Amino acid sequence: MDQYLDDKKLALQEKICAFVDQELTPEYVRAADQKDEYPYELLKKLSDLNFTGINVPVEYGGAGGDVIDLMIIFQNLARRMPVLCWALGNILLYGNEIIGLNGSPEQKEKYLPKLAKGEIGFSFALTEPNAGSDAAAIKTRAVYENGYYVINGNKMFITGAGVTDYTITFTRTAESRYGGITAFIVDTKTEGYSARPIKKLAFHGSSTCEVNYDNVKVRPQDILGGEAGLNRGWQQEMKLLNQERLMLSSMAIGIGQAALEDAIAFARQKFRFGQGDHQAIKHTLAEMAAELEAAKSLAYNTAWKEVRGIECVKETSMTKYFCAETVKKIVLKGVNILGEYGGIMDYGMQRYMREIPILSIGGGTSQVQKNIIARIIGL
């Protein structure tokens, strides 16, 4: 991994690791998991350290960083508190990236400086109760009436929708399956917008919500990309997928790293490796280490291609699939090493087991990734 990091990126890695060690103690994270509250205070601290502007262009007040910078941040946060990645993603990914990639000049000028300072957050409303993996099947509709687009419908599993200032909302504006989707920047204070938090197994504090739109009025200039973005929502979404899949992969790597570290620490304390035969434990830990290293290598090699503009849809799908599924195996091996302790709430391993499955679902399921890979290799 280090071969992809120059001095600036190594300094970023050192900075985020210092934040994690200082702010995200195991005791703090365990308490936060139980409270299930959105991490406003931690986001403010990350903003004060200039992490929220890492991938905003310099001309809008940011650091002009790339997807590898984001992966460094997400991987190290996920090593201790993955839910903080979701919260920070409401700025870095669904704010900075989507506005930076798809916003009109006016939208970039309006939103990016505030995003860089951590003053606002965005959520990303695509998934619906009957449109998950088949995202083009969305039913939420926007109809033009008297100078406004009026949105009606509902979305499901939208991260941060109950706390963010804006929601990028994908709607159907024409009958064409892919050519009839338009994304709007919806102010969450707009009349008719409501978000209901959903209780979940893991990622407590992410404010994952069901969102309802009841005659929500938005202006034509609130189309993502301005009025030129009408019916271009699908293409805008596709621009984001490589980065999103790499972000989720880096989160999986961070969870895998935590599981490996915890399993090694437990084994060293529980077993005296200099005495007796503990070959099975040693071999399991060796497998976990090798699998994690393979996941890191694939992810950062793919990110290197993405940064250089090399076509890598196949590789990002491979990375998303491989990292999520491999770290599932790593975590289960960690649970086996801890035995009964693997299910005790005072240990982190039970939380890793609760957290890792969603990374096989968000950003396109593992099955969807395999479909993409199969198509690209000619099947």
Burial of 272 (0-12, 13-18, 19+ CB in 10 A): exposed
What dihedral do alpha carbons 47, 356, 157, 78 form, nearest 10°?
A: 0
Mean pLDDT of the chain: 96
pLDDT, tens digit, 9 for 90 and up, residues 222-233: 999 999 999 999
Residue 1: pLDDT band by 50, 70, 90 thresholds? low
Q: What percent of the chain has pLDDT over 70?
A: 98
pLDDT, tens digit, 9 for 90 and up, residues 252-279: 999 999 999 999 999 998 886 555 568 8
Beta strands in the chain (DSSP E): 122-125, 141-145, 148-159, 166-172, 181-187, 193-197, 208-218
CA distance 22 to 254: 17
- Residue 184's identity, in one-letter code, is F
pLDDT, tens digit, 9 for 90 and up, residues 292-311: 999 999 999 999 999 999 99
Span 123-231: which CATH code? 2.40.110.10
CA distance 296 to 284: 19
Contact 374, 266 (CB under 8 A): no
CATH number belonging to the domain at 235-376, selected among 1.20.1050.90, 1.20.140.10, 3.40.50.720, 3.40.50.300: 1.20.140.10
Instruction: Give yes or no for residue 35 having a pLDDT over 80.
Output: yes
Q: For residue 59, what are the CA distances in angstroms to 56, 92, 183?
A: 8, 16, 25
Q: What is the mean pLDDT of residues 185-202?
A: 97
Residue 215: pLDDT band by 50, 70, 90 thresholds? very high
pTM: 0.96
Q: What is the mean pLDDT of residues 19-29?
A: 97
Q: What percent of the chain has pLDDT over 90?
A: 94
Residue 22: pLDDT band by 50, 70, 90 thresholds? very high
For the domain 2-120, what is the CATH superfamily, name and number?
Acyl-CoA dehydrogenase/oxidase, N-terminal domain (1.10.540.10)
Domain locations in the chain as residue ranges: 2-120, 123-231, 235-376
Q: What is the pLDDT of residue 5?
A: 87
